[in-house]
Structure 1
Amino acid sequence: MTPPLDRPRRSFFAYSAALLGTLSLFAVLCFHFPELLTSKEFRTVYSEVFARHLLLVGLVAAFCMGTVAILRDRNRRVALLGVGSATMAVLLGGTNVQFDAIGRTPYSLGLDWFVISLFFSALVFVPLERYLGQRAVSPLRPGWRTDVTYFFLSHVLVQFILILVTASTSTVATLAAFPSLKALIQSMPVWAQFLIAVFVADLAQALLHRAYHNTPWLWRFHAVHHSSREMDWLAGSRIHMVEIVLTRSAVMLPLLVLGFSASAVNAYVILVGLQAVLAHANLGIRFGWLEYVLVLPRYHHWHHARHRDYIDVNYAIHLPLVDMLMGTFKLPPEPAWPEEYGVMKLETVPRGILRQHVMPFLSRKTWDDHVA
């Protein structure tokens, strides 16, 4: 029997060039069409000067890394994609694109949010997982393209998701009035409101999260998130769009009803973004007692374990205390980590973002081309 051929080793420089070249091209498009491609909310976070400097860094790095990969004859097509994208970005104006005052539009895409978020997430977590990872997993593991696509859609469509979430919660929030409780919460300092908001939101999300696992029609949406066979900082992006809207609505509703200040809610939103990436990250750091205070990688990895003893545990996203109150807390002593990740029945979730989004609406139970 002939042994299988080893898969050729992928070039870090080639794929980095492709990523940076593509992001640079997207950034130039954002400069050309800021009203349509950039998020009004996110534009307040960074300056034009910062964006131009970041674009310059991306262009230079894409050209340098792509050239090195081409000269070394490593993944030349991928490297050429990076160099070609960077060249197109330069031909379209590069860092010199000028624009007038940004007008108001009824909607816009968050392409700037995607570019900046993916750049810095990769910059931080790829090296961390390389040197501090619990498992030796390549950033270009099977399924990474699917997860990048999920990352892209959830960031680019952020305004539309917010519109749906706001529409689904604002009416209910106005009907539910608790003036004395609202007054009590609003009299507290922002830091106290933030801590209470984290607990309230985590409890609401954990209850819905458990419903995802125990209600068959909801599970078909949530199974997409659990279909990742490897856990890393990008795996948490694999979430069905219906689940995103349902979860964000369930979390925002109690915060709106109880009248938490905008500052406390914004701080909570920042925490969600950071902890969602951290909890899925492939980091083998020992946190000791802190694992019983905050949801950290090992805690959430056991929730994703392909192990029958962990099907119905660890639903909290921020505070293990929530699982303790729900009776769903389960964490083996250090240094135990899951051996395998994914849904128990791998054949029930197809590969690819399009089929995964259609899957919950079909009566079909199994797929030939599935996540295994």
Structure 2
Amino acid sequence: MEKYLNLIKKAYSGYWNYLKHEVQFPSDWDNYFYGLIIISLLVWGLEILFPWRKNQSIFRKDFWLDTFYMFFNFFLLNLIILIALSNTAAQILNDILKLFGLTLSNFQLFDVNQLPAWLGLLVFFLVSDFVQWNTHRLLHRVPWLWNFHKVHHSVKEMGFAAHLRYHWMEPIVYKSLLYIPLAIIGNYSSKDVAFVYFFSIVIGHLNHANLGWDYGVLKYIFNNPKMHIWHHAKALPKHLKYGMNYGLTFSFWDYIFKTNYMPHNGKDIELGFEGDENFPKDFFKQEMYPAGTKPSKN
């Protein structure tokens, strides 16, 4: 137990030092703090210049709530929960495997470092996005997970910052299900992870932005604002009663598994979920909502 407590303590201090360095020394290209700010300002600028819903205010409904969520979930949540939890969980898993004389390397299918750099990065991107696509489906299909995911779907007016409005439990689910699939295909450099992360943030911000783009033929590869707004539709079709358009970065998973749905231009559809008029409106009540609510179907 002392080993795990020391690991948690080290994780907290290490991440705190890292976060201070990110804020104080913005020279590195993979600086997540300033990277998020720059991406957010650029996408917000596109919203202002090319608004799809022209009657939507620049400071739309819940703009500041979503901005707080964005920084809390991207940085402070890591400091409070995720870094220590993920490091400790990884150590516990390794210790359990050791009892059977095993390590994660025994389950490794191949080492991406033996592949050309571009191919290794592509494999990493595809595997992580596919696992997250399936995890996203689970958030909609499993009632107790859906209660957490309601925080994200409580958005009533789409804008770039809505991308990172989510309950703190969601990244725990995502990271837990993603850990082993990535571990069995090898290790990745921090630069590779940063590239994929930044690209995902750009696509995610654009998906939620007040933009009427679908990227033309590229809509079959990348998720886009016109496709993703239907994911947030309050009214769901009968044949997709749990939801549709689950893609995070890539859209082709939905086309492959027949969960794509874009019946018409969705510019003015109502967003949310059934019963959202009773959903809490402030951060703390939204974070506490699942604890006091019985699981419900989508």
Fold match by TM threshold 0.5 = yes
CA deviation after TM superposition for structure 1 residue 267, in Å: 2.5
> What's 1:182 paired with?
110
Identity level (%): 27
Structure-2 change in CA distance of 1:120 and 1:268 (3 Å): closer
**Among residues 140, 162, 167, which one is paired with 2:88 in the alignment?**
167
The answer (yes or no) to whether the contact 2:109–2:184 under 8 Å persists in 1 is: no
Structure-1-length-normalised TM-score? 0.63
Structure-2 change in CA distance of 1:355 and 1:327 (3 Å): same
Structure-2 change in CA distance of 1:322 and 1:194 (3 Å): same
Question: How many residues are paired up?
Answer: 267
Structure-2 change in CA distance of 1:336 and 1:301 (3 Å): closer
Structure-2 change in CA distance of 1:121 and 1:162 (3 Å): same
Letter in 1 for 2:62: G
Residue 358 (1) aligns with residue 279 (2): no
Residue 142 (1) aligns with residue 61 (2): yes
Instruction: Show the 5 A alignment for 1:214-225.
Output: 214-225=141-152
Structure-2 change in CA distance of 1:264 and 1:361 (3 Å): same
CA deviation after TM superposition for structure 1 residue 191, in Å: 1.2
CA deviation after TM superposition for structure 1 residue 327, in Å: 2.9
Instruction: Extract unaligned runs of 5+ from structure 2.
Output: 1-14, 98-102
Instruction: Extract unaligned runs of 5+ from structure 1.
Output: 1-34, 51-111, 367-372
Instruction: Show the 5 A alignment for 1:136-285.
Output: 136=54, 137-157=56-76, 158-160=78-80, 161-169=82-90, 171-172=92-93, 175-178=103-106, 181-183=109-111, 185-262=112-189, 263-285=191-213
Structure-2 change in CA distance of 1:231 and 1:170 (3 Å): farther
> What's 2:231 paired with?
303
d(CA) in 2 for partners of 1:228 and 1:234? Answer: 10
Structure-2 change in CA distance of 1:251 and 1:273 (3 Å): farther
Letter in 2 for 1:168: A
Instruction: Show the 5 A alignment for 1:41-60.
Output: 42=22, 46-47=26-27
d(CA) in 1 for partners of 2:72 and 2:282? Answer: 14
Letter in 1 for 2:26: Y
The answer (yes or no) to whether the contact 1:39–1:113 under 8 Å persists in 2 is: no
Structure-2-length-normalised TM-score? 0.77
CA deviation after TM superposition for structure 1 residue 41, in Å: 6.7
What is the SS of the residue equivalent to 2:160?
Answer: coil
Give the root-mean-square deviation of aligned CA atoms. 3.1
